[in-house]
Amino acid sequence: MNGGFDLERARRETRGCAQRIHFNNAGASLPPAPVADALYLYLREEEEQGGYEVMARRAAELDNFYAASARLLNCSAAEIAFSDSATRAWNAAFYAFDFKPGDRILAGSAEYGSSLVALLHRAKRRGVEIVWVPDDEHGQIDVTALGELIDGRTRLICLTHVPSGSGLVNPAAAVGEVAKSAGVPFLLDACQALGQLPVDVEQIGCDLLCGTGRKFLRAPRGTGLLYVRSTLLEQLEPNQLNHYAAELVTVERYRMRSDARRFECWERSCAGQLALGVAIDYALGWGLQPVSERIGQLANTLRRELADIDGVTVADPGLQKCGIVTFHAAQVPAEQLQQQLAARQINSSVVPFSANPVSAARRRQPPLLRASLHYYNTSEEIERFVAALRQLL
C-alpha cells in the first residue's frame, strides 16, 4: 500500500506515533516534528527576547504564511487572512454580508453546527430565509436542486466540502459552476478538506473559503485561514474593524485595507501563524495528490474491514469519500467504544449532533464513532484497530 510513499520518514517525523494509534486526525492531527519545533523555538525566543522584538526580526517568516496559503489554494497572497480558527474565519466572511429582510441563503445539509447557529442568528436578527438544499440519492448535495432553488433574492450559497461527521466529499466544483453561472457568492467550509485533498479555489470556483490548521494540515491549534476572492473583497466590510484592518487617516476618518487582511486583528499568535506557514509548506512538500491517494487507500481498507464485523454499520454517504470513516455497532454505544479504545492507546472520536445537525436530523442515525486517518497511519494500525474492535464487541 505504501507504493512510493516514504512512510518511514512520515513516521520518524511524527513523534506521537510511537506512543499510540492516532485515528483522530479530523479532530486534531499529530503535528510533524518540523512544525512543532518551529512553534517551540518561536515561543522560546519570545520568552528570552520579547514578543515584539522577535516579531520584527522574523517578519519575513511570519509573512510566509500568506505565500504558503496562496500556493496551497492557488490564489494571491493578498486574498488570504490569518485566523485563530476556521469558525472565526467562516464567521468573519459570513457576517460581512449586509443581509436584508427577505434575502435567501442556500445551504447544504452538511453545515457545521457553529455555522448553523450563525445562519439562525441572521434569520432571527435580519429576517433572512435559510433554504436547505436537498441531498441527492448518494447523500451529497443535489446540484440540480441547488440550481432550481436560486432566484433573485439569493444572496449566498454555503457548502461544507467535507463534513465533520462523515467521510462524504461534496461536489464543490459542481456547486461552484452553479454559483458562478447565477452570479451568487459561494462560501466553502474547507475545514476538513485542507491537507487531505487538493483544494484549488480556481478549479472549485468558490469566492470565500475557510480552513483550520489543526486538522489535516497538522498545524497547531488556534490557527486558521480565510480566503476572499479579490473581485468580491470590496463588496464586503467586516463587522468588526481595528487599527490593523483599517488605517486611521485622521482622528475622524479611517481607510480599510485593500487586501484580505481587513479581516484580521493586529494581535494574534505569531508563533501559531509561523507554524501554520511551516505546516502548509510541509504538506505541499509531500504533495497533496499523493497524500490524498494514500489517505483514501487507508480509509477504504478500514471501511472494508469494518464491514466484515458482525453488527457494525459503516455510515459514510457520497460518491467520493475521504479519510474520515464513521460507523456504529449494534452491540456497544459509540461513546463507550471510544473510551475503551482510548484505554488501549487508540485515539478516535464520537460524532456529536453539533457536527452536522441538519444531516444528522435527516438521517436519524445512532451516535457514530469516527476514525479519521492520515498518511502517517499504517495498515498494521488498521489491523490492530479492527482487532481491538472485534474483541470489544
Sorted by where each starts, the structural domains of the chain and their CATH numbers stand as 7-30+287-392 (3.90.1150.10), 35-285 (3.40.640.10)
Chain centre distance of CA 270: 21
| Whole-prediction pTM | 0.96
pLDDT of 78 reads 98
Residue 356 and residue 113 in contact, taking contact as beta carbons nearer than 8 Å: yes
| Residue 325 host element (H or E) | strand 324-329
Minimal CA–CA distance to 21: which of 351, 389, 393, 291?
A: 389
- Residues 244-296 have pLDDT tens digits of 999 999 999 999 999 999 999 999 999 999 999 999 999 999 999 999 999 99
Rounded to an integer, the average pLDDT of 230-251 is 95
Which residues does 139 contact at the CB level (< 8 Å), separation at least 6?
168, 317, 318
Question: What pLDDT band is residue 359 in, cutting at 50, 70 and 90?
Answer: confident
The residue among 135 and 2 whose pLDDT is bigger is 135
pLDDT of 3 reads 62
Per DSSP, what are the bridge partners of residue 78?
A: none
Rounded to an integer, the average pLDDT of 320-346 is 97
| φ/ψ (deg, to 5) at 305 | -65, -40
Could you tell me what percent of the chain has a pLDDT over 90? 95
d(CA 310, CA 292): 29
Residue that the C-alpha cell 439562525 belongs to: 120
Q: Which amino acid is located at 128 in the chain?
A: V
**Residue 252 burial by CB count (10 A; 0-12/13-18/19+): exposed, middle or buried?**
exposed
Per DSSP, what are the bridge partners of residue 81?
A: 226
| Model confidence at 2: pLDDT above 70 | no
Residue 89 and residue 112 in contact, taking contact as beta carbons nearer than 8 Å: no
- Residues 17-72 have pLDDT tens digits of 999 999 999 999 999 999 999 999 999 999 999 999 999 999 999 999 999 999 99
Minimal CA–CA distance to 332: which of 388, 380, 383, 379?
A: 388
d(CA 97, CA 99): 6
d(CA 69, CA 259): 14
Q: Coil, helix or strand for 137? A: coil
Question: Angle CA(217)–CA(218)–CA(221) in degrees, nearest 5?
Answer: 105
